[in-house]
Amino acid sequence: MRAELREIADSLVQSLRRMVEATERRVDAQVVGIQAQVSAVEQSVAALPVPRDGKDADPVSDDQLAAVVSRHFEEHPVLPGRDADPVSTEQLVSAVALHLADNPPAPGRDGKDAEPISVEQIREVVARHLEANPPAPGKDAPPVAEEVVAAVVARHLEAHPPAPGRDGKDAEPVSEEAVATVVARHLEAHPPAPGRDADPVDVQAVIRGLTDTARAEVAAVVAKHLANNPPAPGRDGKDADPINDAFVVDTIDRAIERHVGTWALDFERRAQDLFLKAIERIPKPQDGLGFEDMTVDYDGERLVTLRFERDGIVKEFPLHMPTVLDRGVFVVGKAYERSDAVTWAGNYWIAQRATQSKPGDAEDEGAWRLAVRRGRDGKDLSKGTPK
């Protein structure tokens, strides 16, 4: 019995040895393969170039981002949508009230005041948003009656009555010197156009007219006096010497000419005094503005202003340069000036005059000029394993 058990045990030991030897051979074969793979990996790693420090990427400007977005929308134009249904103020108030009733806000704590935002910052953000997301063309809103506007204004004033104002103060009295200064500045900034000489006056004709008028007035006065005071009847006298009519007329003419000459001389003196006083009130001329008083202002687009300023005197000369400026993707309803350039339907257009029409619109022919035509679409990349 023991001999049989020993034989069975020996047989089991031999089987286990054969199994262990087979397992060792199998493991050795796998280890050899793994060692070969490890050696190949080590050789590949050794063949890699030594890494070097890289440089920072170039900063990306807003204009580059806008160009990428613009090209994306040109290649993938947004389909036009439809206008949303109008929402009244009552509907908005009702929806907000229901939302707050279902979701009451948690009590918060006081925060710090936000930084003030300038109008320029708001305008820049809105412009970028509209340029990146041009709105689809919509329809005109229905006209609003004056009664509706009046009712809305009345409700607003009833809910928010304006604070009572206070009486203002009287304006400061304006002196003659202040008026003269303002008039002088106005005349200097807007010099009157040169006038023309007065028409020549015939002095002899004026004197003759005054003489005839004086004669008629003297004759009328004498006739009226004799009518009211008739002379007493006298006695017959001797005949008077004959009177030369020409002598009488000449005597009266000389008397009237002396009177008119005195009046003309007095008039000339008074006119000369008035003229001298007017000259004294004319402001004294000042030296003109020169290049040392000049500054140049540039608005960043097309307007260059030459500004001359000294001692409160300011003169400006605006110069408009016809420079082509890229305005991005065309926006419906936006006003464009001459030389503004836009992209529309894959083409590049330049405005030839101020306009709001679409590029290529037949109703406003000549408003835009096609500068660059859209290229043909390329072929799709064939599917498959790249060689």
Burial string for 142-162 (b: 16+ CB within 10 Å, else e) reads eeeeeeeeeeeeeeeeeeeee
Residue 88: predicted pLDDT: 67
By CB atoms closer than 10 A (0-12, 13-18, 19+), residue 245 is: exposed
pLDDT digits (tens, 9 = 90+) for 293-351: 889 898 888 888 989 898 888 999 998 888 899 999 999 999 999 999 999 989 999 99
Mean pLDDT, to the nearest integer, of 213-226? 71
SS3 call for 114 = coil
Q: How far apart are CA 196 and CA 187, in angstroms?
A: 19
Q: Which residue type sits at 201?
A: V
Contact 26, 18 (CB under 8 A): no
More confident residue, 136 or 335: 335
Q: How far apart are CA 121 and CA 293, in angstroms?
A: 33
What distances in angstroms separate CA 79 from CA 76, 160, 321, one per listed residue? 9, 43, 37
Q: Strand 294-298: give its sheet, edge to edge.
A: 294-298, 303-310, 313-320
Question: What own/partner pairs with CB < 8 Å and gap ≥ 24 does 1-6 have?
Answer: none
Beta bridge mates, 84: none
Q: Which residue type sits at 261?
A: G
Residue 158: predicted pLDDT: 79
Element at 351 (helix H, strand E): strand 347-351
Q: Which of 1.10.3720.10, 2.10.10.20, 3.50.50.60, 3.40.50.1390 is the CATH number of 325-372?
A: 2.10.10.20
Has residue 355 got a pLDDT over 80?
yes
The three state secondary structure string of 196-236 is: CCCCCCCHHHHHHHHHHHHHHHHHHHHHHHHHHCCCCCCCC
SS3 call for 360 = coil
Element at 328 (helix H, strand E): strand 325-329
Contacts of 180 (CB under 8 A, 6+ apart): 281, 283
Question: Domain ranges in the chain?
Answer: 1-32, 246-282, 291-320, 325-372
Q: How far apart are CA 264 and CA 254, in angstroms?
A: 15
Q: How far apart are CA 83 and CA 302, in angstroms?
A: 36
DSSP 366: T
* Residue 373 tokens, joined: 């035509």
pLDDT digits (tens, 9 = 90+) for 232-242: 776 666 665 56
Q: Which of 374, 333, 375 is nearest to 134 (CA)?
A: 333
More confident residue, 327 or 30: 327
Contacts of 302 (CB under 8 A, 6+ apart): 320, 321, 322, 323, 325, 337, 339
Mean pLDDT, to the nearest integer, of 184-192? 72
pLDDT digits (tens, 9 = 90+) for 90-119: 776 677 677 777 877 777 676 666 677 777
By CB atoms closer than 10 A (0-12, 13-18, 19+), residue 208 is: middle
DSSP 60: P
Contact 259, 207 (CB under 8 A): no
Has residue 65 got a pLDDT over 80?
no
Residue 29: predicted pLDDT: 80
Element at 313 (helix H, strand E): strand 313-320
pLDDT bucket at 140, cuts 50 / 70 / 90: low
DSSP 355: B
Q: How far apart are CA 327 and CA 343, in angstroms?
A: 8
Contact 311, 293 (CB under 8 A): no
